[in-house]
């Protein structure tokens, strides 16, 4: 759900575009004007997609997989998916100067909360296994 909220605004050389996480993940960032940077000399949307869409696809896929594993009651897996999604979201932040919106911060927060929740559950499983063994 957070992927459909306002995600970020990127501006450079007078060009600007705002988009959702879903638009980034599906390579449909709205056009925002031409830029003439050394690493990008086309519409700003193409530059944003080139630098961030791969990370967004990974984050979205890991979120979906984590949700599926969680709904199936899998104890192991959702925490790893959350960790990967968190890392992918941080990868998006390594790009150009971006103003992140509520969607980005909410996704990042949710991945972090899931890492903590599943980390605590894993620790409890290990402690219970030690008690049974010893």
What is the per-residue pLDDT across 34-56, written as a single tens digit (0 to 9) for each?
A: 887 766 778 889 989 998 999 99
Check pLDDT > 70 for residue 77.
Answer: yes
Distance separating alpha carbons of residues 49 and 104, to the nearest angstrom: 15
Tokens found for residue 51: 């630098």
Q: Which two tokens stand for residue 97?
A: 């100067």
Of the spans 26-30, 37-41, 130-134, which averages the highest pLDDT? Answer: 26-30
Q: pTM of the prediction?
A: 0.83
Q: Could you give the number of structural domains in the chain?
A: 1
Centre a 10 Å sphere on the Cβ of residue 72 and count the other Cβ atoms it contains. 9
Q: Is pLDDT of 1 > 80? A: no
For residues 44 and 36, give the distance between their C-alpha atoms in angstroms, rounded to a whole number. Answer: 9
Within 72-101, residue ranges assigned H as helices are 78-93
* pLDDT score at 95: 64
pLDDT beyond 90 at 28: yes
* Parent domain of 123: 2-133
């Amino acid at each position: 759900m957070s992927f459909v909220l306002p995600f970020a605004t990127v501006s450079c050389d007078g060009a600007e575009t705002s988009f959702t996480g879903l638009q980034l993940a599906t390579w449909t960032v709205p056009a925002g004007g031409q830029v003439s940077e050394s690493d990008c000399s086309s519409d700003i949307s193409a530059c944003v997609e080139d630098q961030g869409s791969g990370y967004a696809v990974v984050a979205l896929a890991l979120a979906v997989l984590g949700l599926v594993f969680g709904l199936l009651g899998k104890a192991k897996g959702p925490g790893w998916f959350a960790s990967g999604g968190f890392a992918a979201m941080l990868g998006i932040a390594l790009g150009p100067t971006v103003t992140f919106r509520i969607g980005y911060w909410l996704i990042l927060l949710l991945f972090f909360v899931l890492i903590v929740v599943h980390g605590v559950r894993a620790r409890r499983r290990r402690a219970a296994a030690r008690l049974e063994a010893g």
